[in-house]
Amino acid sequence: MYVGDTIAAIATAPGRGGIGIVRLSGPRSRELAESVFRPQRAGAWSSHTLRHGWLVEGECTLDEALGVWMRAGASYTGEDVVELQAHGSPAVLRRVVEALLASGARLAEPGEFTERAFLNGRLDLAQAEAVADLIDARGARAAEIAAAQLHGGLSESLGAVRAELIELKALLEVQLDFAEEDVAIDAAEIEARRARAAQTLAGLVDSYAHGKRARDGVRVAIVGRPNVGKSSLLNALLGEERAIVTEIAGTTRDVIDESIEVAGIPMILSDTPGLRAETADQVERIGVERTAAAIQRADGVLLVVDASRPLTGEDEEALRASAAARRLVVANKSDLGVVLAPNELRERTSADVVVVSARSHAGLNELRGALARMLGEEEAGGSAAPVLTRERHRHALQHAGDALALAQRGLRDGAPPEIVAVSVQEALDHVGEVTGAVSNEDVLDEIFRRFCLGK
């Protein structure tokens, strides 16, 4: 258990709410919040004062937001707390949290904010009773999750990293504690073990994106010029009214995420603002940028056109914008007549074309089939390689990898073994957060197994 590091998580209930809050608690809250939140007015935070600004990811603006800092001693947890309030899009909130983790926050365990509040004397006795139950439940759930997660290939991979690191540590330690003994250490073996462990870790960290997809769903962006019926199509696929649909072009200004399951594949459909060739409206221009970002991020694109009219310049824009993506062309509004020839479209886009009517639901089943084919192939093509699915695990293994990079630098620069050992121990501690702690007894066991020691 780490006390006093800075934790972050989405603090509002999962799903789409009117407003979503990302909460940070711990000494680095303000510093880390600044990595994702750009206040409108520069200057220092003052406690309990709302600041207006934008959530950003690098150069990209994600959302408009309000930020508030509550100083230690006067916050819910009793520590420095920053809350970032944005529109409730789960996708945006998740990306904010991921950016915070990348900057050095740790993902809060369920109930951890409350636990900290309790430990800092911010709750009364009755509330405290509830916290104990919560942690109890967490222990049980964590065990359950760990058991479910760490099976098969993943467990094997992590076990291999752990063993590799223990051997690596043993090779360093034997030089320190048994320097007087007749032991031969091969420097090349040390670097080889380090490199193997680092490579496996990197693979596991990379697999997180894939694992996340398996858990959250493949991303599909619905793209097209304004008023081709993107939101209607989304609603038709969802089977209910969700996205706001009007006759006025450009109604959808935010990217809207919805989860559905198509032929057993979980998907996140992102309805995007319509792509216009040019717009003077600043808000819409932001929308256009977001659409481009959504295409970039998506595993597949549904390119929607109006089947009842010839392609417009704006359609051509949408075609160009999605050209690099794996896509499926949806010729909508077939109920108003079909003037676009599917064959021509197919030739022009080198993509499958499905003719549908979002209004009458004609062709929707074909669309579902085509979607499943397009995205299912990838799923089927996915190898059986182990996959990380939990952010907490990714976080731990990422840090383990960072520590091994430091170790590599040390080895390269000829740092003495006790210095390299500090980094290797850090890596072991982080891997231990996932696999269970590695004690210095484990390292001694390895030393004695491998070397004949003792005068």
Partner 1 sequence: MGSFETEFDVIVVGGGHAGIEAVLAAARMGARGLLLTHNLDHIGQMSCNPAIGGIGKGHLVKEIDALGGEMGRAIDATGIQFRRLNTKKGPAVQASRAQADKASYRTYMKQRLESAVGVTLLQASVAQLLVDAGRVRGVATDMGESIHAAAVILTTGTFLNGLMHVGERSQAGGRAGDAPALGISEQLAELGFRVGRLKTGTCPRIDARTIDYAGLEVQHGDDPPQPFSTTTAAIEQPQIPCHITFTNARTHELIRASLGRSAMYSGRIESTGPRYCPSIEDKIVRFADKERHQIFLEPEGRDTVEVYPNGLSTSLPLEVQVDMVRSIAGLENARIMRPGYAIEYDYVDPTQLHPSLETKPVAGLFHAGQINGTTGYEEAGAQGLIAGANAVLAARGEAPLVLGRDQAYVGVLVDDLVTKGVGGEPYRMFTSRAEYRLLLREDNAILRLGDTARRAGLIDDRRYAAQSAFAAAVAAEIDRLEATLLRPTPACNAALRARGWAEILQPTSLAQLLRRPEISYGDLAAGDPEHAPANPVAAPVAREVETTIKYAGYVKRQEDAVARFRRMDETRIPASIAYAEIVGLSREVCEKLERVRPESLGQAGRIPGVTPAAVSLLSVHLQRGRLTAGRKSA
Residue ranges binding partner 1 (CB under 8 A): 1-5, 115, 118-119, 121, 124-125, 128-129, 131-133, 135-136, 138-139, 142, 173, 175-182, 413, 416-419, 421-422, 425, 439-441, 443-444, 448, 452-455
Query: Which of residues 108 and 321 has its CB atom nearest to partner 1 in the complex?
Result: 108
Query: Which of residues 337 and 454 has its CB atom nearest to partner 1 in the complex?
Result: 454
CB of residue 177 to partner 1, shortest distance in Å:
4
CB of residue 172 to partner 1, shortest distance in Å:
9
Q: How far, in Å, CA of 110 to CA of 139, rounded? A: 10
CB of residue 447 to partner 1, shortest distance in Å:
8
**Nearest alpha carbon to residue 426 among 449, 397, 451, 448:** 397
For the chain, how long is the longest CA-to-CA vector?
93
Q: How far, in Å, CA of 342 to CA of 73, rounded? A: 65
CB of residue 155 to partner 1, shortest distance in Å:
18
Q: How far, in Å, CA of 79 to CA of 73, rounded? A: 6
How much helix, strand and coil, in percent to the nearest 5, is found in the chain?
A: 50, 15, 35
Query: Which of residues 181 and 366 has its CB atom nearest to partner 1 in the complex?
Result: 181
CB of residue 406 to partner 1, shortest distance in Å:
10
Q: How far, in Å, CA of 275 to CA of 224, rounded? A: 6
CB of residue 113 to partner 1, shortest distance in Å:
13
Classified as helix, coil or strand, 332 is: strand
E strand map for 206-326: 218-223, 256-262, 265-271, 300-306
Query: Which of residues 98 and 173 has its CB atom nearest to partner 1 in the complex?
Result: 173
CB of residue 141 to partner 1, shortest distance in Å:
10
CB of residue 179 to partner 1, shortest distance in Å:
5
Residue appearing with tokens 């390689």 = 385
Query: Which of residues 181 and 377 has its CB atom nearest to partner 1 in the complex?
Result: 181
Q: How far, in Å, CA of 179 to CA of 449, rounded? A: 17
Contact present, 262 and 370 (Cβ < 8 Å): no
Q: How far, in Å, CA of 116 to CA of 398, rounded? A: 25
Query: Which of residues 145 and 249 has its CB atom nearest to partner 1 in the complex?
Result: 145
Residue appearing with tokens 């809250």 = 29
CB of residue 32 to partner 1, shortest distance in Å:
17
Query: Which of residues 135 and 362 has its CB atom nearest to partner 1 in the complex?
Result: 135
Query: Which of residues 120 and 308 has its CB atom nearest to partner 1 in the complex?
Result: 120
CB of residue 215 to partner 1, shortest distance in Å:
23
Query: Which of residues 184 and 380 has its CB atom nearest to partner 1 in the complex?
Result: 184
CA 427 to chain centre: 22
Query: Which of residues 125 and 248 has its CB atom nearest to partner 1 in the complex?
Result: 125
Contact present, 8 and 100 (Cβ < 8 Å): yes
**What does the CA dihedral 316, 320, 326, 331 come to, rounded to 10 degrees?**
0
Residue appearing with tokens 């509040």 = 117
How far, in Å, are 149, 156, 157, 348 from residue 152 at the CA level? Answer: 9, 6, 9, 45
- Containing 331, the helix (H) or strand (E) segment is strand 327-332
What value, to the nearest 5°, has the Cα angle with vertex 13 and ends 8 and 14? 90
